[in-house]
Structure 1
Amino acid sequence: MTDILAQIAQHQADIAAAEAPNAEALEAFRIQYLGTKGLVKTLMGEMKNVPNEQKREFGQILNAFKLAAEERFETLKAALESNTEFSFDYDISLPGDPLPLGSRHPISMVRNRIVDIFKRLGFAVAEGPEIEDDWHNFGALNLPEDHPARDMQDTFYISQDPAWLLRTHTSNVQIREMEKGKLPIRLIMPGKVYRNETISARAHCFFHQVEGLYVAENVSFADLKQTLYFFVKEMFGQDVKVRFRPSYFPFTEPSAEMDISCLICGGKGCNVCKHTGWVEILGCGMVHPNVLQNCGIDPNKYTGFAFGMGIERITMLKYQVKDLRLFSENDVRFLRQFTGA
C-alpha cells in the first residue's frame, strides 16, 4: 500500500501542474485521468488488494484524488473557454454574407393559384395514388379494354395481369371519391400524371393536372361554363378571349374543349398555338351516366360536370414560356427568373 500511496502523491503533483493550452490537450488530460481506462479507474481497482482494516483510509485517499482530478479538469476547461471566447481572428461586427434565396417552382405557384381560385367557388381538394389499377384509371371511366380511346392515353404499365399502371389523369381520384357515395361532390384533384409520349416543346412523358368534379341534383352545362369562365378571367385577366369547341371524351357527354386566345403571341400565331392564335387549356363536359352508374350513383337523380387541365400549359401561357421541357430540366438560369414571384 505504501507504493500505491507514493504513486497517488506523484499523480496529484502532476495533476496540479497540468496545463491545457488547447482542446486536444484538455481531452488528453480527461482520458489520462478520468477516462474509462484512466488512472482514477485503475487505482479504484486496487481496492481489492488493500487489507480490510485499511480499506476505509485508502477509500478516502482515492476519493480525494478523484476530486482533485475532476476539479483540475473543470478549471482547465473554464480557462480554455474564457481564452477562446474572444479570440476571433476576424471582425465579428462586419455584416454576414447574404444567403441566396430560392423560390417556389413556377408549376407549384400556378397549382396553388388554381387551387385558390376554385376554393373561392367552394371546391375542396382531393388527392389519390399515382400508381393505379386498370378499373379506376380506365374501366370505371367508360373506357373498356377494347375501347379505341385508350390509344390516346398510352401509359407505363407496372403489371399486366392484373393491370397496374402509372395513372394517365387524376380522374382516378374522381372515381374513388364518387365511390364513397357522399353527395353532393365539389372537388378539384391536382397531381402528377404519366403518358408514353414523345418529349417535345409541347409534350412530356409526365406532367401535372388539375381536374374538377361537381355532382349534385340539377347540375347543368351552364353551371360548367360559368365556372370555367370565372376561372379563366381570374387566372389570365378580364381581356382574355374564350371559346368552346365540341369534342369527344368517353367519360363525359356532351363534351367540349376550351380555348383561350394565345397570350404568348397575342393571337398572331406561334409554335405554342400552332399558328392559330388559340390555345386549348382544358377539356370538359357533363359526367357520362355510365360513369355515375359505375360509381353507384343514380344518373336519373344526379348529374354533374367534370373538367381537366394541364398545369404546364397554364404556366406556359401565364409566364410566356415557349418550351415545356424547361419546367423539368432544373436549369438554375430558368428558375431564377421566378425568384421575385
Structure 2
Amino acid sequence: MDLTDIRGKYIAAVAGAAGEAALEEVRVAALGKKGEISALMATLGRMDPDERKAAGAQLNALKDEIDAALRARKAALADAALDERLRAEWLDVTLPARPRRMGTIHPVSQVMDELTAIFADMGFAVAEGPQVEPDWYNFDALNIPPEHPARQEHDTFFMARAEGDNRPPHVLRTHTSPVQIRALQTMGTPLRVIAPGRVYRMDMDQTHTPMFHQVEGIAIDRDISMANLKWTLEEFCRAFFEVDQVELRFRASHFPFTEPSAEVDIRYSNVGGQLRIGEGDKWMEILGSGMMHPKVLQAAGVNPDEWQGFAFGMGIDRIAMLKYGIPDLRAFFESDLRWLKHYGFSALDAPDLPGGLSR
C-alpha cells in the first residue's frame, strides 16, 4: 500500500492550518469516523492475513504520525496565540498601584487600645461580659437599692417581657461594673482587671448619648489602700495624656458600690482654645473611684474581712474628647466619613507608652 501521497497531503495541510478551526477540519478529514485513513482501515478486513498485517502497520504508523503532527501544530498555534495576547495586553508591573481609599481607626477603638496597653503595663488583665444583664448583676450585686433612680425606666433600658412573664428583669447594662462581679466569681482573688465596653443610658445631649463606652477597673488584694488607687490613676493619666506631671484632686462623693468614694478632678488650663492637661488653675472631673464596698465583695463571693481593694470608672468617649480635642460626643456615632477621616487613626498607629510608667 503506497501511502506517500496521503501522508504528504495531510502533513502539508496540518502545517498550513492557520487556526484551530482549520486544524480540526484536517483532523476530521484524515482521522474522523468518515475520514480517509479511517476508510482505508475499513478495507483491511478484505485482505488476506499477510497483506492485512503489512497494511495495518503502515496505516497505524501514518495515523500516529498525523496525530502527532496535529498535536504539535495545535500546541504551536496556542503558543502563538499566547504570544500575541501578551504582546497586545502588555502591562508594566512596575507602575505604582491605583490609589485606594483607606479606612481609619475610630478614636474610641484607638483609645481603648491605648488604655489597655497602659493598664496592662501595670498588671491589669482585660475582662469582658454581656451587654444584656440580669438586674441582679447590674444593680443588686453592686449594692444599688431598689429605690435608686437608676433602676427606673426613665434612666435605664429594660428588656421587653411578654405579658405574664414574671422572670426577673434584664437590662442593657448601665455600666461595666457587672463585669467586676463576674470576674471575681470566675477568677477569684487576688485580682487586677479592667472592663472596657459599651454601656447604655437614657440620655442625649452634647456630652451624653444613649450608648457610650466606659472602662472600669478593680484591684483586690489583702492590703490595698486609697494610696494605691491614687498612684494608679496618676500613672494612667500621665501616660495617657503624654505629660510629665499630672495633678489629681480627690473629692468626697457617694457611690453605692464604693466606700469611701471619691470623684477625681484633673488640673488643666485652656489657653487660646487649647486644652493643656497637668497645668493651670482649673479643675475638670474625669472619673469616679473608691474602695470596694464590703457588700459588693460579699455578692461576688469574696470575704471582705480578708480582702479589700479599689475600683474606678471613667468614660472612654470623654477622655478621647479631652485628649484629641473632639468637641461633640454625638459625632462619635454619626458615621460621618469626613469626621472619621479627620479624627481617625492609621492602622499603623499602634498604641505605645510614650509617657512611660514609673516604678
Do both share a fold (TM > 0.5)?
A: yes
Q: Within the alignment, does 1:247 sit opposite 2:248 as a pair?
A: no
Q: Which amino acid aligns with 2:139?
A: F
Equivalents in 2 of 1:68, 1:141: separation in Å?
89
Q: Which amino acid aligns with 1:170?
A: T
- Structure 1 or 2, whichever has the larger Rg, is 2
1:87 to partner: Cα distance = 1.7
Match of 1:167 in 2: 173
Counterparts in 2 of 1:178 and 1:81: CA distance versus 1, 3 Å: same
Q: Which amino acid aligns with 1:188?
A: I
Q: Which amino acid aligns with 2:101?
A: P
Structure 2 unpaired stretches of 5+ = 1-12, 25-32, 34-44, 46-55, 57-63, 162-166, 276-280, 350-359
Asked if the contact 2:215–2:314 (Cα under 8 Å) also holds between the matched residues in 1, the reply is: yes
Question: Given the alignment, which residue of 188, 192, 199 partners 2:198?
Answer: 192
Counterparts in 2 of 1:304 and 1:239: CA distance versus 1, 3 Å: closer
Equivalents in 2 of 1:170, 1:67: separation in Å?
78
Alignment of 1:240-319 (within 5 A): 240-262=246-268, 265-266=270-271, 277-319=282-324
Structure 1 unpaired stretches of 5+ = 1-12, 31-42, 44-53, 58-62, 271-275
Of residues 99-108 and 222-231 in structure 1, the stretch that sits farther from structure 2 once superposed is: 99-108
Counterparts in 2 of 1:75 and 1:209: CA distance versus 1, 3 Å: farther
Equivalents in 1 of 2:259, 2:65: separation in Å?
93
Provide Cα deviations, 1:68-92, integer angstroms capped at 9, x if missing partner: 9988876655443332223237655
Q: Which amino acid aligns with 1:242?
A: L
Equivalents in 2 of 1:203, 1:65: separation in Å?
85
Match of 2:142 in 1: 141
Equivalents in 1 of 2:197, 2:122: separation in Å?
20
1:267 to partner: Cα distance = 11
Of residues 322-331 and 88-97 in structure 1, the stretch that sits farther from structure 2 once superposed is: 88-97
Asked if the contact 1:181–1:297 (Cα under 8 Å) also holds between the matched residues in 2, the reply is: no
Asked if the contact 1:153–1:168 (Cα under 8 Å) also holds between the matched residues in 2, the reply is: no
Query: Normalising to structure 1: TM-score of the pair?
Result: 0.73
Equivalents in 2 of 1:115, 1:135: separation in Å?
28
Equivalents in 2 of 1:115, 1:234: separation in Å?
12
Look up the SS of the partner of 2:87 in the other structure: coil
**% same residue:** 45
Query: Normalising to structure 2: TM-score of the pair?
Result: 0.69
Question: Given the alignment, which residue of 227, 234, 240 partners 1:235?
Answer: 240
Equivalents in 2 of 1:130, 1:169: separation in Å?
9
Equivalents in 2 of 1:171, 1:68: separation in Å?
82
Asked if the contact 1:181–1:296 (Cα under 8 Å) also holds between the matched residues in 2, the reply is: no
Match of 1:206 in 2: 211
1:96 to partner: Cα distance = 2.8
Provide Cα deviations, 1:211-245, integer angstroms capped at 9, x if missing partner: 10111101111111111111112222134442111
